[in-house]
Amino acid sequence: MEIMDTAAPTHVAHRDNHTHRDVNGGWLRPAVFGAMDGLVSNLALMTGVAGGSLLPQTIVLTGLAGLAAGAFSMAAGEYTSVASQRELVLAELAVERDELRKHPKDELEELAALYASRGVEPKLARQVAEQLSRDPEQALEIHAREELGIDPSDLPSPAVAAVSSFGSFALGALLPVLPYLLGATAIWPAVLLALLGLFACGAVVARVTARSWWFSGLRQLALGGAAAGVTYVLGALFGTVVG
């Protein structure tokens, strides 16, 4: 005897179109923006020095120093920021765990009231709250999600954040220095490579936005080019005054 599937089939158009972009950006957003930061800051730094000095050795040394300083600064700042956020979350979780241990009935009523406020019938809301509260760890996770808006099982790692920030910034900052390391003696190859990198980063960011890849790429290229142009002019002015 053939058993029929009584579940209603999902409409093909709905199934194909009911997917969403990663609104948080996952790892892609911080990695790409870290690379952009390194590109723009180091390109601007190098063009500023190039405006006031024609010595390739001075420019490449400035670029390498900017790469190291910026990458370490990004890593240290990101580590401190994520570590502080993680410590705060863990402290709040400890408070919630203590409340669940000392006042389980009050916490259960709080959870039931929360579901009821969202339209669940009060009796059913209490039954759901009771069932979910049987496991203390599950109860903690639910309260953390509902009250604090966090997922206890998915806390960010300070070390991973620091290493990824260091790597992405260093990779971006390396692009404008690379032509000099390969033998270039003028600033324009560095500018050209950096602008191409900025366009590529902008195009990649379009994966987590609603913009087209060429719009995002051109926008980032224009912003980075403007920063490089302004610092070049300032470097030339300051170089004239100092010289």
CA distances from 214 to 103, 198, 200 (A): 56, 12, 9
Confidence at residue 183, expressed as pLDDT on a 0 to 100 scale? 92
The CB density around residue 10, as the number of other CB atoms within 10 Å, is 10
Q: Of the candidates 174, 213, 180, 215, which has an alpha carbon nearest to the alpha carbon of residue 197?
A: 174
Average pLDDT by consecutive 10-residue portion of the chain (243 residues)? 49 52 53 88 92 86 95 93 92 91 91 90 92 88 86 87 92 95 92 94 80 90 93 84 55
- Token pair of 111 as six digits: 């959870």
- Token pair of 238 as six digits: 């300051």
Cα torsion angle, 23, 211, 221, 189, sign: positive
Confidence at residue 37, expressed as pLDDT on a 0 to 100 scale? 92
Domain boundaries defined on the chain: 27-232
CB 161 within 8 A of CB 86: no
Confidence at residue 18, expressed as pLDDT on a 0 to 100 scale? 46
The CB density around residue 135, as the number of other CB atoms within 10 Å, is 11
Per DSSP, the residues of 76-134 read: HHHHHHHHHHHHHHHHHHHHHHHHHHH-HHHHHHHHHHHHHHTT--HHHHHHHHHHHTT
In which region does residue 229 sit, left (phi positive, over 0), alpha (psi from -120 to 50) or beta (all else)? alpha
Contacts of 14 (CB under 8 A, 6+ apart): none
The CB density around residue 181, as the number of other CB atoms within 10 Å, is 11
The tokens 């979350």 sit on which residue? 89
Q: What is the DSSP letter of 1?
A: -
Q: Of the candidates 164, 163, 157, which has an alpha carbon nearest to the alpha carbon of residue 31?
A: 164
Residue 31 parent element (H or E): helix 28-52
- Token pair of 127 as six digits: 């039954």
Confidence at residue 25, expressed as pLDDT on a 0 to 100 scale? 42
CB 148 within 8 A of CB 89: yes
Q: What is the distance between the alpha carbons of residues 213 and 19, in angstroms, rounded to a whole number?
A: 20
